[in-house]
Every structure is written in C-alpha cells, then in structure tokens.
Amino acid sequence: MSDRLTRGLEAMRAQMDTRVMSYMSSCVHCGICAEACLFYTETGDARYTPIYKTEPLRKLWRQEYTFWGKLAASMGLSSKLAEQDLADWEELVYDGCTMCSRCSLVCPMGIDIAYMIRKVKEGLAAAGFSPEGLVEAGKRAVEIGSPMGVTLKTLQATIRVQEKETGLVIPLDVAGADYLCLLSSGEVAGFPEFIGSLAKIFKATGVSWTLSSEYFEATNTGVQLGNSKMAATLVERVVAAAEKLQVKTVISPECGHAYSTIRWDAPNFIGRPLPFEVVHIMELLDELRSDGRLKTAGFADEKLSYHDPCNAGRRGGVLDQPRKLLNMVAPNFVELPETGAMNWCCGGGGGVSSNERADALRLKVFSAKKRQLDAVRPAALVTACSNCRHMLEDGLEENEMHDIELLGITELIADHLAEENS
C-alpha cells in the first residue's frame, strides 16, 4: 500500500463518525439528489449525482464498518479501495461540486450529502489529490493570511482610498469596539467600496466597529480544500484577533462560505466555543433597520432581483434579512424562480472559484442561473457574497448578458442613506 493511499484512508477513517455511518446506511439510492445538482442537470452526466461523489467514503464504510462488507472482503469477494479510486474522484469532487447543499435539502432521508462530500475531501487532501490552484490558495492563506495574496499593506492602501472617497475614518485596531468586521480577499481586491459603505452605514447608525491589522481574512481555504488542521489554524487567527481587541461580536462580510465556516463550523475545528458572537452583515443591517436606526431615502427604480448565496442562505438561514433590506430601496424587486432556499448556485462555491481547471465546467453549468435570469430579465442582480459576484460576473460575460448590472446589498443601502442618517 502506497504512502498516499495510507494517508488518505487514515484521514477518511478519522471522518467515520456515527453521523456519517448513519447517513451511509440510510441512503435508499433514489437519485432525487441528482435533479438538485446543477452539475448533473446542466451536463446530463450521471457521475455528477451528488451521492456518487461520496463513493470512496462509502466503499470504505462498506468494507470496514459493515458485517457483510467485512465478510466479503475477508473472502476476497470485493476489491479494496485503491489509490486510483482517490485519483479518479479528485476531479469529480473538487471540480463538480460547490458544496451548495441543494442536494442535502431535497434528500427524502435527511442525508446531508454535502457534509459527506466534505469528508471525502479530507481523504483526498491528505493523500495529495487536490487541484493545484486550491492547494496554492491554501498555502497563501497560511503564509500570507489571504488565499488571494492580499496583504496588510494592500488593505491599508484600500482603506486610505475609501477614507478619501467617503471622508470618514475607517477604524483599524480599535480595542473595545463592539464589532470586529472580517473581510474576504475578494472584497478587498474586487469590491473595495464595500469597506467605504460599511463606514458610511456604521457612522450613520452609531455602530462601534473595527478592523484588525493582525488578521482580517474571512475566507477559510482549509474548509474548501478539506484540511481540518488548516481550517483550525485559520479560525484560531480570527479568535486571537478578536480576543486581542476584546470585541463582543464578529461580523462575517458579504461572503457565504465565510459565514457558514465561522458561524457554524469554527467551534468544531478548534474544539471549544468561540469567545464572541457571530453575525452576518445582512443580519446586522436588518437588526439596525428593525431598531429604526437604519433609515434610507430614495429608490432604485429599475427592476432588481436577488441571488441567494448558498452558504449564507440555504445553509445559514440568512434569507429574509436581505429581502427586508431590499424592500427599503427597491420597489420593483422581483424574485427569481426557484429562489430562496432552493436557489441555484453561482457555480463557484466550495473552492471551485480557486480551481482554474474547473473554469470551463463552471461556466457550462452557469446555464442554470441563466435560466433563472432569463425568466425575469432584471436590470440588476443583487447579492450578498463577493465570491458570488465574481462568479456571476464571469457567467454574465460568458453569456453576453451585459444588460444586467451586479450590485452588493451593503453598497446599495449605503447609496440610499437618508440625510438624517448620513
């Protein structure tokens, strides 16, 4: 047995908890999950059936954790999991799954298929079967603090530009602030106006907040890669930054993956409760709206639709808040078909956006989102995830849908602050 296979098997055995084994024994092979997966619906390739992506883990479970599987293996009636199995599933799992959890939502047996695919990734990553782009992003996250290579100097330069544009001071390393706001590299590099918009809204509503110079990255590449040790390291950096500044609450920015990781997964990675509360920026803005502190004026009169980020919406439950915020400024808001918890993924979640090898497939399956947009044809599509915005930009460009503008909710609200609130 090769060292790679040994590492992969050991990693998958470590994931074989009662939850996984219960899921394995509960599957009735109905195939309903296939119709919920955009990689299957848009390609027609049965290999992309979500439950099939868990086959390496399922094979190990059958052979080592079930009576009949053990018996068949002892009699030489079943082939053992081989290194080639891991090699064959690498592209299928990393390129053909965004961990969007749409399959988990429709499973009649209540199986969290995305959870099991995440466990398969642990084995593949340990064995060295992961896409180069994602591996390099992980290295940058650990060594630089950002999967995209965004440094503190980059952030400071961005802050200076935003301070000049807004005329406001953007707080950095303010001890005792109520909120520590994390940022994704995608926001700093691609949508820096998000930072200025936060400054305007928080100034208007009297929110005490800060950024940290020691660690500001919201994205956790360890989760995307399937490396729990790396994921724990990155979570610990957030914890250290928050504890040093003695903040009460950490804000997850417009990034779905970042929210699901720090809000739901982080305590499990580090083995203890977080010393702070976690709130998504949409939850905080909606709370300010509900309290009467956030007031807007004027409207965006064009037809707007909303793209629900999978992790924030489907997995995290942040569904009503963005719509309540949009209702403040968008009288011509129109829902996409199959929206909310059943929304179709942008195609780039789960680390797919960092995997250049998957670009062609990602753009092909954007046809699911295109159908949604064609049904409504909004003038602008709003979302609350920077990664989604980048992926939607790619998809709209690929399909020559240049008439649809992309907007972030935080910026939209900031642009419509009432004078008394600005």
The per-residue DSSP string of 176-207 comes to T-SEEE-B-HHHHHH-THHHHHHHHHHHHHT-
Q: How far apart are CA 344 and CA 366, in angstroms?
A: 9
Domain boundary among 271, 289, 307: 289
Residues 280 and 154 in one domain: yes
Residues 270 and 369 in one domain: no
Q: How far apart are CA 266 and CA 119, in angstroms?
A: 16
Residues 262 and 159 in one domain: yes
Number of C-beta neighbours around residue 244 at 10 A? 14
Residues 152 and 241 in one domain: yes
Residues 304 and 416 in one domain: yes
| Residue 169 belongs to some domain of the structure | yes
| Residue 136 belongs to some domain of the structure | no
Name every residue whose Cβ is closer than 8 Å to that of residue 282 and which is 6 or more positions away in sequence: 254, 312, 318, 321, 322, 325, 384, 409
| Residue 138 belongs to some domain of the structure | no
List C-alpha distances in Å: 44 to 49, 93, 98, 262.
10, 16, 17, 35
Count of structural domains, the chain: 3
Residue 225, exposed/middle/buried by CB under 10 A (0-12, 13-18, 19+)? buried
Residues 399 and 318 in one domain: yes
Q: How far apart are CA 407 and CA 330, in angstroms?
A: 12
Contact 262, 154 (CB under 8 A): no
**CATH code of 340's domain:** 3.40.50
Residues 284 and 303 in one domain: no
Q: Write down the residue that tokens 């982080």 correspond to.
A: 266
Structural domain of residue 94, as residue ranges?
Answer: 3-130
Q: Write down the residue that tokens 């992790």 correspond to.
A: 311
Residues 208 and 261 in one domain: yes
Per-residue pLDDT of the chain in tens (422 residues, 90 and over written 9): 799 999 999 999 999 999 999 999 999 999 999 999 999 999 999 999 999 999 999 999 999 999 888 888 888 777 888 999 999 999 999 999 999 999 999 999 999 999 999 999 999 999 999 999 999 999 999 999 999 999 999 999 999 999 999 999 999 999 999 999 999 999 999 999 999 999 999 999 999 999 999 999 999 999 999 999 999 999 999 999 999 999 999 999 998 889 999 999 999 999 999 999 999 999 999 999 999 999 999 999 999 999 999 999 999 999 999 999 999 999 999 999 999 999 999 999 999 999 999 999 999 999 999 999 999 999 999 999 999 999 999 999 999 999 999 999 999 999 999 976 65
Residues 259 and 163 in one domain: yes
